[in-house]
Amino acid sequence: MGFLDALFGRTKPVKPDLDQLFGVPSAALTLQAAAGFTPTGLGSVCFAAVEGGAFAEVQAQVRALLDADTDRGGTPVEASRDGYGYSWLLARHTPDELPDLVNDLHAVNSELEANGFGPQLLCSLVGFRDTGGRALALVYLYKRGTFYPFAPVPGGGEKRDNALELQVKAMLGNDLRIEPDLSRWFPVWGAPGLA
């Protein structure tokens, strides 16, 4: 960081560290033991779509990569677009295949990044649910290289369970790099994988 950056309070952006995603399976064990949340087998990647042939080709390559196991009973990846215009790729696995799900999410992020579309990546999430039906997502912020918990209130419209989110933050501090700036814990209402 340069002198002027320090003087004006600017900081250099954190470099993405996609390998942080591989910490999710151990965090899942902590979540299950401490709060009763288990993986749903659903995970998704959100990115800002770009018009053009190069991006469409990379998106097709990513889908082909993730759909490679469909002939052996795997579930094809689902693509969707949310109300804000962001694109989502949803990967489905059985709940006990969390490492495979994480590998898929890592592959999507890596493929987009390797082809120059890293700036379009926004976040990835992995879904969890407890026996009472509460949903929880661990959201990975690509541009920050950090995670945060997102817990919508069941049947509560667009309300969050902030107490649960802070509880999960405290639980997972040793398992994942948690985003310290709570203002960056943005809601992902209706995100694929948060069912």
Give me 6's structure tokens: 């320090």
β-strands 78-81, 121-129: how paired? Answer: unpaired
pLDDT number for residue 46: 92
Phi and psi torsions of 152, nearest 5°: -75, 150
Q: Enumerate residue ranges in the chain where pLDDT < 70.
A: 1-16, 51-56, 58-59, 63, 65-76, 156, 195
Contact 158, 120 (CB under 8 A): no
Measured CA to CA, the distance from residue 94 to residue 101 in angstroms comes to 9
Using only C-alpha atoms, the chain has a radius of gyration, in whole angstroms, of 17
Place of tokens 């969890």: 128
pLDDT number for residue 120: 85
Contact 194, 137 (CB under 8 A): yes
pLDDT number for residue 36: 95
pTM of the model: 0.84
Burial of 38 (C-beta count, 10 Å sphere; 0-12/13-18/19+): middle
In 3D space, the residue among 15, 26, 21 whose CA is nearest the CA of residue 125 turns out to be 21
Q: What is the pLDDT of residues 141-150, one digit of tens each?
A: 999 999 999 9
In 3D space, the residue among 45, 26, 34, 176 whose CA is nearest the CA of residue 117 turns out to be 45
pLDDT number for residue 6: 55
pLDDT number for residue 114: 82
